[in-house]
Amino acid sequence: MNSPEDTSPRQEPLGELPAGRPLQTDFNDGLDYPRLGTVSFRRGTLTDNQQALFNEHWPHLGRVLADERIDLDEWFGRTGHPTIVEIGSGTGTSTAAMAPLEEDTNVIAVELYKPGLAKLLGSVVRAGTDNVRMVRGDGIEVLVRMIAPNSLDGIRVFFPDPWPKARHNKRRIIQSGPLRLFASRLKPGGVLHVATDHADYAEWIDELVDVEPLLDYKGWPWDDCPILTDRQVITKFEGKGLTKDHVIREYLWERTDAPNPE
């Protein structure tokens, strides 16, 4: 006798994104935004230990991009704490190093590459760090779909992909549109912190420091900055840059107290 066909919905593996073209918001404000094609992920696999930790802790510590606002107090299990989103956390080296130095702050690491998130998850679990959460997805879409306006105390963009070929410059995350989006998600007084070791990207950012009226450019360093800006450790990508005598440029902006257009 043939067994009845299994009609139960298939369970997606933990932390997986839907196949095909990713969610992509259409912005109609006349500003420049990076556009994604179909995302193909490097097939990095998790070690057995990483997979075991991922299976156990991702349901509590991680989420996948979705059309759902994050309830920060519920997710972190505490109320009234400042929150920082780190866009493009990579393998989480700086995230894991900075988080224990800012225990009073909620930190959300956003990254597309699953093995990078698994490495960060393992780091925070082994260290007993309880103020880090993770979202797998494109940073722009995570901010649009999952983060409420005027809710963040800080946004970090450390060593974003420089897209060095001129025809790919439109994919860079630091553009007029993302700067407007960052400002909209920050509270008045919130801080945007960007770092790059790519000279051409630094020149690109130099042209944009005053383009967003809701962001007051503070330069670097900013002694009175209300959030931690000393990354304390040399990240993997920063270390590569230093070995090539690259100059690391850092940028800080403060969200003004002007009304948010949203």
Which residues are identified as catalytic? 161
To the question of whether residue 86 is assigned a binding role by annotation, the answer is yes
Query: What amino acid occupies position 24?
Result: Q
To the question of whether residue 161 is assigned a binding role by annotation, the answer is yes
d(CA 180, CA 186): 10
To the question of whether residue 138 is assigned a binding role by annotation, the answer is yes
d(CA 132, CA 220): 26
Give the largest CA-CA distance in the chain. 76
To the question of whether residue 238 is assigned a binding role by annotation, the answer is yes
Q: What is the 3-state secondary structure (H, E, C) of the chain?
A: CCCCCCCCCCCCCCCCCCCCCCCCCCCCCCCCCCCCCCCCCCCCCCCHHHHHHHHHHHHHHEEECCCCCCCHHHHHCCCCCCEEEEECCCCCHHHHHHHHHHCCCEEEEEECCHHHHHHHHHHHHHHCCCCEEEEECCHHHHHHHHCCCCCEEEEEEECCCCCCCHHHHHHCCCCHHHHHHHHHHEEEEEEEEEEECCHHHHHHHHCCCCCCCCEEEEECCCCCCCCCCCCCCCCHHHHHHHHCCCCCEEEEEEECCCCCCC
d(CA 112, CA 136): 5
To the question of whether residue 29 is assigned a binding role by annotation, the answer is no
d(CA 241, CA 201): 13
Q: Which residue ranges make up the annotated binding site for substrate?
A: 165, 197, 235-238
Q: Which residue ranges make up the annotated binding site?
A: 86, 111, 138, 161, 165, 197, 235-238
Q: Which residue ranges make up the annotated binding site for S-adenosyl-L-methionine?
A: 86, 111, 138, 161
